[in-house]
Structure 1
Amino acid sequence: MAKNRACHNFLLLITSFCLLSACSPRSDKQQPVDDFSASFSFYNLNKTGPNNFILTDRLDSLSQQREASIPSATFNREFILKGRSFFQLNYKTNQFVRYDLSERNTLAAWDSISLGKIGDVEHFIWKENTDTLMLFTVLRDQGSIGFMHIIDTKSMTLLQQQKLPLPKSISAGYDQLNIGVVNYDHEKLWVGYSYSKYLADGDYTTSDSMYFSTINMQTLSLKSTHSDARSTYPGGINTVQSYAAKNENGDLYFMSCPGIALGNKLDAPTAIFRKKKGDDALDPNYMINISQQIGNHAYGFWYLGNQQAIIRSEQKDKYTDFSNHHSTYQFEYYLVDLDNGTLHKLALPLDKGTRKENVIVDGDMVYFAIDDKDDNHAVWSYSIKSKKIQKTLTLSKSVDFIVRMDRIK
């Protein structure tokens, strides 16, 4: 596995959530019973004992909640959620596994398919709001090859598996491909990526430009490639955290992530870019330079609707280096106006944890799962209309990190 992937995951290794014992899919194929109307789930890394899920029917109360145990497998926080099914690549076996919430409130392996040796999962999208999953991976030990896998997740059938016609390298030494943002529209696949190179053990940096290729899905031929030197590392690994979204008009917005936890090219700005619907190149007149406004890098982008978004930023004066980046209470949340580029800091407690999927938009309310300096592991709400911020619920003190808060649709 690539060293930059190892750096990405280092922040949470202290809680040992990535390496548990092996598990195989259920053999009876009996559909799990849905006996609890949970609407949301928390994935918690605990101070002692195994990591777990907390299931709840609402985010402003824990009046109904249940705990779901983690399967004894190489299950980790990098998963894809649809309905009550969790999809994840088992890196030890190269099996793509579907887990379902069972009648015993455990996450049981339901079915799996073999994808072969395909490297690291970098990105996923659902094809046209169906159960067809498009999964993008990079195999780095054979020259950094990008792959696309199209999977029917209902029947767990591999429909298509192809190499992507992306360059193996752009310049000397920068030979580690990072796929960070993908868009699919009318048989046209648009991929945003960058390249990294190793500097030393556990250290790397990223090329000074972003690259965007348009691929014909019928022929898998490369139609065009554009570069943009305004920033680097477009998007990020979205099985861990969100970095892109479409607005109501179908325009795609995404954040570049050159900070220490992803691109590790600190002189490049974290910024928000736009690809207008139907275009292959970025809008050359659009860029919200986040680093210029707040003096820091950011990770995480969540669209609220009506040209508003949330970003989650670090504070470089509070951490020493990557070794304590995840454990420092430093992360702030900003409301971004995507039309005029203004940022407004929300009056929320400082958070810890380098990269977390911990923001949910539910109508007028935006919910944040925050681990604060007083060892509170709580959900806070922000009303888009009234601007009111308040704490809505608190989890157990046994929690160390709430690394995910997901909607179970």
Structure 2
Amino acid sequence: MKKTVTLLLSGVIGSMVMMSACSKSSKDEAPTGGKVDTSGLKRSKYVFVYTGQGTAAGSYIVTADDVTKGSISSTNNGVETDAYSFIIQNNTIFAQVYGAQGPVTPYRIYSDNGQVGVVGRVVNTFRTGVYGTVNSDFWVGGSDPRGNGVGELFLFDAVNLRLAGKSTTDLKQITGTGDNAVWTGVFQVDNKLYMPFYKFKPGANGSPWDGQYGNLDSSWVAVFSYPGLKFEKVIGDDRTSFIGNWFGMHGLRQIENGDVYAWSTAGAINGVKSKKPSGIVRIKKGTEQFDKSYFFNVEEKIKSKIARGEYIANGKFLLSVYNGVAEDNVSGGRIRMVIADVINQTITEVKGIPEHDQASFRMQVFYEGDGKTIDYVMEDDNKQFYVYVINAETATAVRGLHIQGASNVTSIARLKY
């Protein structure tokens, strides 16, 4: 398929693109969005967002039918976008620009031949630092609080494509120490939102941040109401360090039995090192407090620190762990991949994936929903991006799809049509 169209994030051009898309679609997709019933949809495509190289520099949304083989490229199958961050809800890709107004543009597969296009209006929010889905029809975005020392949240209606609520929180109220807080993700836990955070020091003359971080030897999670987005309480633990990392959208997950597991790199930021081991802690279902009877000391078990993590199923997580000393920032370093069983407290190295450089900020994965298969995007030492298909039951991986001409991959998902 030839390159479809270049999309600019403006309301007028976006509307023109949508009108063109609808005229080509045999489905008569409503340009204002709507609830997507996927129960009768038999086909799907994997959707990647990546930054190109050289003359193809820019961000592209590119589709593939299969991740186990073949290759894709923006030069013959790509829709250009100005966005960087992407979240999937209601069978829709919400593309977010990491800028002052943080415009959000919705994309879907809108035609029977699998083309991707804009399906509604652009909505301005703010520069979104963390984001996460809630139930099946909404997602929540949070601001980058280092700029003004204020925590802002918004609720996005993924069906009607509009902002459905917002809140503002005094960050010093969250920390209770005079420090400000920077959150590392937003995660649904039952009918609440859990937001892990770490602390940063306010600057002189009213500046919200002086570039220095606070105590790194404890874990904190701020609990917010839903859908009100109101701050309720902080739960903490001092056996490991801060949970997740800035702009990583990882670090905490509720599993099938209702328990919540959270993990910490226990690394260093700006030269400040944590004295605590890298490990995994637990919050038992319905308790809203850390379970003092459980601590999975990953660093002690494998002599390595956790870098990133994503949930698979049945108590198993895909973790990247540093192969040597952890980097003094939230990205970088050499890593290897392991399967962590948090219920049985075991670590199994994944065979078939070579040691490689850690991706910036976020691990790009897609869980296939079968209880064992997770697709992992990695850049090898030849600067080539591939999808590795991982079987969590056997802890083995096979190299699949080649993403040609990429300098960075910022999203992997699958949309039905």
Q: TM-score, normalised by structure 2?
A: 0.75
| Matching of residues 4-403 of structure 1 within 5 Å | 23-25=9-11, 26-28=14-16, 29-30=18-19, 32=22, 37-48=43-54, 49-50=56-57, 51-62=59-70, 67-71=77-81, 73=82, 75-76=83-84, 78-82=85-89, 83-89=91-97, 91-100=99-108, 105=115, 108=118, 110-115=120-125, 118-126=126-134, 128-129=135-136, 131-142=137-148, 144-164=149-169, 167-168=172-173, 170=175, 174-186=179-191, 188-197=192-201, 204-207=212-215, 208-217=217-226, 223-237=232-246, 240-260=248-268, 265-317=273-325, 326=332, 330-347=334-351, 348-352=353-357, 353-362=359-368, 363=370, 364-396=372-404, 398-403=405-410
- How far apart, CA to CA, are the structure 2 residues paired with 1:258 and 1:335? 19
2:200 and 2:257 mapped to 1: Cα distance? 33
Between 360-369 and 345-354, the greater mean CA deviation after superposition: 360-369
In 2, distance between residues paired with 1:237 and 1:34? 40
Aligned-residue offset at 1:221: 5.9
User: How many angstroms apart in 1 are the aligned matches of 2:397 and 2:144?
Assistant: 41
* Alignment partner of 1:404 is 2:404: no
Q: CA, structure 1 residues 146+257, in 2 after alignment: closer, same or farther (shift >3 Å)? A: farther
Q: What is the SS of the residue equivalent to 2:10? A: coil
Cα 1:271–1:198 change in 2 (3 A) is farther
Alpha-carbon distance in 2 for matches of 1:346, 1:292: 19
Q: Which amino acid is 2:200 matched to?
A: S
Would the alpha carbon gap of residues 168 and 257 (structure 1) be closer, same or farther in structure 2, given more than 3 Å must change?
Answer: farther
C-alpha distance 202-379 of structure 1, shift in aligned 2 (>3 A): farther
- Which is further off, 350-359 or 20-29? 20-29
Counterparts in 2 of 1:140 and 1:386: CA distance versus 1, 3 Å: closer
Displacement of 1:250 in angstroms is 1.9
Q: Deviations over 1:48-104 (max 9, x none)?
A: 222434311121123898622322x3x11x221232422325523343333445669
CA pair 402-367 structure 1, distance change in 2 beyond 3 A: same
Q: 174-183 vs 260-269, which deviates more?
A: 260-269
SS at match of 1:167: helix
Q: CA deviation at 1:389?
A: 3.2
CA distance in 1, matches of 2:228, 2:211: 38
What is the rounded CA distance, in whole Å, between the counterparts of 2:271 and 2:181 in structure 1? Answer: 11
In structure 2, the CA distance between the partners of 1:159 and 1:203, relative to structure 1 (3 Å rule), is closer
For residues 125 and 369 of structure 1, what CA distance do their matches in structure 2 show? 21
* Distance change (3 Å), C-alpha of 1:179 and 1:379: closer
For residues 196-240 of structure 1, what are the alpha-carbon distances to aligned partners after superposition, in whole Å with 9 as ceiling and x for unaligned? 2389x99643423222344455876654433212223223456x4
Matched-pair contact (CA < 8 Å) for 2:174–2:222:
no
Distance 2:265 2:394 in 1: 31
TM-score (norm 1): 0.76
- Check 1:270–1:403 CA distance in 2 against 1; reply closer, same or farther (3 A cut): farther
Which amino acid in 1 is paired with 2:15?
S
Q: Secondary structure at the match of 2:356?
A: coil
Q: Deviations over 1:166-224 (max 9, x none)?
A: 534637673243243433434x444332212389x996434232223444558766544
Three-state SS of the structure 1 residue aligned to 2:121 is strand
Q: 1:284 to 1:296 in 2, by over 3 A?
A: same
Percent identical = 16
What are structure 2's unaligned runs of at least 5 residues?
1-5, 27-41, 204-208
User: CA offsets per residue over residues 105-149 of structure 1, 9 Å max, x none?
Assistant: 56548412233xx554223232x22x222222243343x222221
* Contact 2:94 2:104 (8 Å CA) reproduced: no
Offset from partner CA, 1:34-61 (integer Å, 9 cap, x none): 6995521233333322243431112112
Question: What letter is aligned with 2:243?
Answer: P
Q: Residue 131 of structure 2 contacts residue 249 of structure 2 at CA under 8 Å; is this kept in 1? A: no
Of 227-236 and 304-313, the range deviating more from structure 2: 227-236
Mapped to 2, the partners of 1:297 and 1:305 lie a distance apart of 22
Residue deviations 1:317-369, cap 9 Å, x none? 597x659x63x6x2210111111222112121122224343233322433222
How many residue pairs match? The answer is 375
The answer to whether the 8 Å contact 1:271/1:288 transfers is: yes
Please list the CA deviations of residues 144-167 of structure 1 after superposition, one character each: whole Å capped at 9, or x if unmatched: 222221121222222211124653
Aligned to 1:10: none
Structure 1 pair 255/94, CA: closer, same or farther in 2 (3 Å)? same
8 Å CA contact 1:165, 1:220 repeated in 2: no
Work out whether residues 46 and 400 of structure 1, in 8 Å CA contact, stay in contact via their aligned partners in 2: yes
Q: Is the 8 A contact 2:222 2:235 kept in 1?
A: yes
Range with bigger deviation, 365-374 or 279-288: 365-374
